[in-house]
Amino acid sequence: MMRSSLHQPAGPFLADLKKADEERRNEFVWVHQEKFYSIAFVATGNEKKASDVVGTAFVNIFTDLKTVNPKKMDMPLWDWLSEFIVQACEEHHNKFSPPIPTAPRTDPSADGSAQMDWETTIILGPQRVKRCLVQLPDEQRKVFLLRHHFQLSYDQIAVVVNQAPETVKAWLFRARVQVVKCLGRG
């Protein structure tokens, strides 16, 4: 069985995947496709395009797997995998989206988000957090989920949502503030 923890070291897993038969490789795709699709749907906003982006990501994974040396992989599995879905999202935006605005859409210095690298810790339960997330503006909800659920970096999120990293930081800061306020209201 090709089960994996996204935090496990990539090297041993990829060594096993390189030797895997078609059934085990298909299982690998099945295990990770939902997460990839969720990220691709945030990037594209379209079911068909998201499926195409996911397909591209998996083709690129298996192409790279032919040449990668698992013994030299010193990173968690998700760090290696996430680059492929982010790269596929970037390819999609290069073909179908307008260029990233050169100036941030928001001023990160105005709210402190330029220096913000706070990780949200939720003790109050996922149902309350979900209720708070539903109340966020669409762009803030997307960046919050990409950061805290999918564990993407700011630069990766910027690629997925086709915005400047400063804009992503500002949206994420504002989302966190609203979630904390919402959780405080109970």
Stronger pLDDT, 150 or 126, i.e. the higher one:
150
**Other C-beta atoms within 10 Å of 48: how many?**
8
Distances in whole angstroms, Cα of residue 145 to Cα of each of 70, 115, 120, 134, 163: 30, 20, 11, 11, 16
CATH architecture for the domain at 108-185: Orthogonal Bundle (1.10)
Tokens representing 64 are 């790279």
Q: What is the pLDDT of residue 72?
A: 92
Which residues in the chain are classed under CATH 1.10.10.10? 108-185
Which residues in the chain are classed under CATH 1.10.1740.10? 10-96
**Taking each helix axis from N to C terminus, what angle separates 47-65 and 77-96, rounded to the nearest 10 degrees?**
130
pTM of the predicted structure, to 2 decimals: 0.84
* pLDDT bucket at 156, cuts 50 / 70 / 90: very high
**Other C-beta atoms within 10 Å of 37: how many?**
17
60-119 pLDDT tens trace: 999 999 999 999 999 999 999 999 999 999 999 999 999 887 765 565 555 544 443 334
- Asked if 108 and 169 count as a contact pair (C-beta separation under 8 A), the reply is yes
**Other C-beta atoms within 10 Å of 20: how many?**
15
Judged against a pLDDT cut of 60, whether residue 121 lies above it is answered with no
- Asked if 132 and 178 count as a contact pair (C-beta separation under 8 A), the reply is yes
Domain 10-96 has CATH 1.10.1740.10: yes
